[in-house]
Every structure is written in C-alpha cells, then in structure tokens.
Amino acid sequence: MTTLPTRTVGPFTVSAIGLGCMNLNHAYGTPPSPEDGAKLLRRALDLGITLFDTAALYGMGKNEELVGATLGAHRNAFTLASKCVLDALDGKRVLDGTPESITRTVEGSLRRLGTDHIDLLYLHRLDKQVPVEESVGALVRAKEAGKIGAIGLSEMSAATIRRAHAVHPIAAVQTEYSPMVRNPEIAVLDACAELDIAFVAFSPVGRGLLAGAITDDDYDSQDLRRMLPRFVGDNLRHNLIAIGQFNALAGDIGCTPAQLALAWVLAKAPHIIALPGTRSIAHLEEDVAACRVTLSAETVARVDAIFDNDAIRGPRYPAPLQAQVDTETFPDEELG
C-alpha cells in the first residue's frame, strides 16, 4: 500500500486526497457494475487513500452497501464517513433533520455498511425546519452510544457551524470548493481554521469541468449535470473559455487539469482535504498523483485570476436544490 501525505480530521489522520464514492451509484448517469465499483474502491485503498466518503442517500442506499461489502474486511485501514438528514424513503429523496429521522438513518447506514461504528457522520444538509442544535444533539447521542466517532456538517454557513460547534465540537465541514467554486472563501474556511475544524472540499475538479472531461452538454439522460445551470447551454459555452485557459496553464506547468485543480485546493490551507470522485481507475491514479504536484504562489495566483469576475456563469444548483444549501453566496452570484 502506498503512503500519501496526510491531514487531520478531528481525531483521525487521513490522506490529503480522499475518495468521494457517490458517483459509483448516483447522479452521473448509468453507474458502473458493482464489480467495477469494487475494483475502484480496492485500488483506492492500494493507492493510499484512507478517507472514504459515502451517504445514506447515494444510490438509495446502494453506495453504502457497496462500500461496506468491498472494504469491510479492511475496516481498520481507513476512516469511514457517511451522512444523514438527506435520506431515501420508499425510493424518494427526503430531507429530515429531526432527531427521530437521524436516529433511523444512522441505524440504516450501520446495517448497509455492515459495521457497528461510523468514524465520521455528517449532517448532509441543514433542515431549516429544525434547529441545528437539535440535529447535532441526535448525533451527540449516537456518539455517546458508540455508533459514530465524530460529527461533521455539509454545505453549511459559518454562522450555522458556530451554532453547531457550541453544542459539540465539529470535526469536519464539507462543501463544494474548487478554482471555479469559491463560496467557502467568504467565511467558512476562516471559521473552520479558527475552530480547528477540517474542511473537506467536494467536487474539487468541478464535476469534471476542471478535469478536461466536458466539452459540450451531451450528457447521459440520468446525469445530474443536465439540470445544473452552469453545465448547459450558453452558460457552459461561456464557461469553457476560462476552462481552456486553465487547461493551458496545466500544460505549462507539466500536469493535467485535474491535478492542477487538486493541487490548488490543497495549497489553499493546511486544514483542507480534497475529495474527488471518479468511476475510472486511470482517473483515480491521476488524482492521487496530484499529491506530488507543488504549486508556486505565482501559479496559485494565476489560477485565481482565470476564475475572477464573470469567468463562470450560471447558478451552482437549480432553485429547489439551492434552497437546501446554507452556504454563503456572493452578492452578485446567480441563484437557481
């Protein structure tokens, strides 16, 4: 097994690049076979990845089942993260932050993962109908019962993070962060640094846009990006201008666009962990190799400049999904 650079998440030491397991069962069109998904998970472990991230919602529970069945025999070799509040009931997505729902989801996750303990459990989204203190309280009780080891938050604002942290120390905050998505820089990154909370950057390669994977909007019929405004139509055509500049910069410094995106994320602060996801073993190996890419301050600034101002057009999410996001937005940011 390879050893990668490490960073800290609460009581855990994890690889600086983890693996988001979602797209092995969820969101990006027809998923790979369980056999191919299992091969990728095992290869990730061999490459030195020690943070695996799943959720109750992904694949309506199938992702947790895949992770548990594939990696269960290696349970002591990695940190296991999952999520609650967003869940699947009777085949439908639900958002429910009540303690009763969280308790039910925890039990379901433990069963699907084939374990009696989840290292890190996130509130997947903020249920705005339930005080975050109540939702965190349910996770505190799960921790006291030995069912989880640490508490995380996903897509939440600095103000919400502070409220949650006052109930119980938060180990990690997970939010989309990449050269083209900079919302955490408004307040969340600073709040995490102040409170000694790890920041886990999901979609660090921009859902493929920063990995040279998208040149048009001819997606699979079940691909989430068909409904994300910045990935389709005139917005995408505009955004590909900046992507072309980004790709050229990667070529100039001798790495791939995905590696430049990941190295940029890791260069931003020592409390940041990058969490890419992929279905391709070749892409997985490419992502992990980003740990060997060191960026100068000048290169980081050049990446920043490419995505300044109006470089990226279109909301992150359509309105119904944006309504579930608590993360800060920029004054001129387009919202679904």
Which tokens hold the place of 22?
């979602």
What is the domain partition of the chain in residue ranges? 6-322
Q: Can you tell me which residue has the tokens 């996903």?
A: 154
Higher pLDDT, 53 or 89: 53
Q: Using the predicted structure, report yes or no on whether residue 310 has a pLDDT greater than 90.
A: yes
Q: What is the pLDDT of residue 336?
A: 83
| Long-range contact set of residues 188-194: C-beta below 8 Å, sequence gap at least 24 | 188/156, 188/157, 188/158, 188/161, 188/327, 188/328, 189/268, 189/269, 189/272, 190/158, 191/158, 191/161, 191/162, 192/161, 192/271, 193/269, 193/271
Q: What is the pTM of this model?
A: 0.97
Number of neighbours of residue 220 by Cβ within 10 angstroms? 11
pLDDT-derived band of residue 39, with 50, 70 and 90 as boundaries?
Answer: very high
Taking only the tens place, the pLDDT of each residue in 104-162 is 999 999 999 999 999 999 999 999 999 999 999 999 999 999 999 999 999 999 999 99
CA distance 275 to 20: 6
Taking only the tens place, the pLDDT of each residue in 3-35 is 999 999 999 999 999 999 999 999 898 999 999
Asked about 58 being catalytic, the answer comes back as yes
Q: What is the b/e burial string over 253-285, where b = at least 16 CB atoms within 10 angstroms of the residue's CB?
A: eebbbbbbbbbbbbbbeebbbbbbbbeeeebbe
CATH number of 6-322: 3.20.20.100
Q: What is the pLDDT of residue 188?
A: 98
For 67, counting Cβ atoms within 10 Å of its Cβ (0-12 exposed, 13-18 middle, 19+ buried), the class is: buried
Q: What is the pLDDT of residue 128?
A: 96
Instruction: Give the single-character DSSP code of 33.
Output: P
Q: How far is CA 56 from CA 49, 103, 137, 260, in A?
A: 21, 12, 19, 31
Q: What is the pLDDT of residue 91?
A: 84
Q: Using the predicted structure, report yes or no on whether residue 59 has a pLDDT greater than 90.
A: yes
Average pLDDT, the chain: 97
pLDDT-derived band of residue 259, with 50, 70 and 90 as boundaries?
Answer: very high
CA distance 78 to 80: 6
Percent of the chain with pLDDT over 70: 100
Taking only the tens place, the pLDDT of each residue in 78-88 is 999 999 999 99
Catalytically annotated residue among 58, 177, 219, 317: 58
Which tokens hold the place of 25?
């069962």
Q: Using the predicted structure, report yes or no on whether residue 2 has a pLDDT greater than 90.
A: no
pLDDT-derived band of residue 272, with 50, 70 and 90 as boundaries?
Answer: very high
Q: What is the pLDDT of residue 17?
A: 98
CA distance 34 to 97: 30
Q: What is the pLDDT of residue 89?
A: 87
Query: What is 219-266 written as a DSSP string?
Result: --TTBGGGG-GGGSHHHHHHHHHHHHHHHHHHHHHTS-HHHHHHHHHH
Number of neighbours of residue 87 by Cβ within 10 angstroms? 23
Q: Using the predicted structure, report yes or no on whether residue 213 has a pLDDT greater than 90.
A: yes
